[in-house]
Amino acid sequence: MNKHINRIFSALLEHTPNPVCELEYTNDYTFLVAIVLSAQTTDKAVNKATAPLFAKVSSPSDMLKLGIDGLREYIKSIGLYNSKAKYIMDLSADLIAKHNGTVPRDFNELVKLKGVGRKTAKVFLNSRYNMPLIAVDTHVYRVAGRLDIAVGKDVAAVETELEKNVPLQYKTKASHLLVLHGRYVCTAKKPKCRECVVAAFCPSAVAEN
């Protein structure tokens, strides 16, 4: 397994040496907001909505001044925007009440905030502060299973397997590598196996050829 995983991540990293989150933001707070908005929505759609929003809002207090109705107007093109607007307003109030408006850099503190789950906290800390945490979204779940580096019946199981199986040297970039690979190559429908840099090591690609 270790040899297989090393081959996978070595090839992905050689192909994409500096993988990064594609969400756009201006500071810690706006990045956290963007991550909350990205649930079940493409980064491209989120960036389109947040460009004008983040030109006006850069802090929890700014968001509370804007108000939930004002926020809805900016994010109404995004899926589940009503519930996300409420999450963001609650999150903003929570940040002010508990952390003086500053986003904590601690996983346990982050998940105590309203609207912030394990995935959101891990994406924030990994992307913003390069912490060796692996967040599992639909792309990571699919790609990890197809590559046989972490297989589980649900996201929690796959997260546990990835944390256990992925060598420390790859952990800061593992999530981004798998997300980008899933977004552009190992897609849910019609994966581009002929363009895949890890096809030679992929049980799923071998089965399809």
Residues 91 and 32 grouped into a single domain = yes
Residues 41 and 125 grouped into a single domain = yes
Q: How far is CA 166 from the centre of its chain?
A: 17
Residues 117 and 183 grouped into a single domain = no
Q: What is the pLDDT of residues 82-112, one digit of tens each?
A: 999 999 999 999 999 999 999 999 999 999 9
Which residue in 80, 76, 24 sits closest to 54, CA to CA?
24
94 is annotated as an active-site residue: no
Q: What is the pLDDT of residue 205?
A: 84
Q: What is the pLDDT of residue 20?
A: 94
Residues 154 and 174 grouped into a single domain = yes
> What six digits make up the tokens of 197?
């840099």
CB atoms within 10 A of CB 95: 25
CATH number of residue 10's parent domain: 1.10.1670.10
Q: What is the pLDDT of residues 50-75, one digit of tens each?
A: 999 999 999 999 999 999 999 999 99
Residues 202 and 166 grouped into a single domain = yes
Q: Please pick, among 119, 122, 171, 173, the residue that the annotation labels catalytic.
A: 119
d(CA 187, CA 39): 18
- pLDDT at residue 209 tops 50: no
Q: What is the pLDDT of residue 1?
A: 73
Residue 96 domain boundaries: 28-129
Total number of domains in the chain? 2
Residue the block writes with tokens 């649900």: 154
Residues 101 and 151 grouped into a single domain = no
pTM: 0.93
- pLDDT at residue 143 tops 70: yes
- Of 110, 129, 148, the residue that ends a domain is 129
**Which three-class secondary structure string do you get for the chain?**
CHHHHHHHHHHHHHHCCCCCCCCCCCCHHHHHHHHHHCCCCCHHHHHHHHHHHHHHCCCHHHHHHHHHHHHHHHHCCCCCHHHHHHHHHHHHHHHHHHHCCCCCCCHHHHCCCCCCCHHHHHHHHHHHHCCCCCCCCHHHHHHHHHCCCCCCCCHHHHHHHHHHHCCHHHHHHHHHHHHHHHHHCCCCCCCCHHHCCCHHHCHHHHHHC
Residues 89 and 55 grouped into a single domain = yes
Q: Please pick, among 84, 122, 137, 171, the residue that the annotation labels catalytic.
A: 137
- pLDDT at residue 207 tops 80: no
Residues 122 and 140 grouped into a single domain = no
119 is annotated as an active-site residue: yes
What residues contact residue 176 under an 8 Å CB cut-off, 6+ apart? Answer: 19, 20, 21, 126, 127
Which residue in 42, 22, 7 sits closest to 127, CA to CA?
22
Residues 9 and 99 grouped into a single domain = no
CB atoms within 10 A of CB 20: 10
CATH number of residue 56's parent domain: 1.10.340.30
Instruction: Using CB atoms within 10 Å of the CB of residue 162, give its burial: 0 to 12 exposed, 13 to 18 middle, 19+ buried.
Output: buried
Residues 185 and 104 grouped into a single domain = no
- Of 84, 107, 129, the residue that ends a domain is 129
CB atoms within 10 A of CB 79: 14
Q: What is the pLDDT of residue 206?
A: 55
Residues 125 and 36 grouped into a single domain = yes
Residues 112 and 156 grouped into a single domain = no
- Of 84, 104, 129, the residue that ends a domain is 129
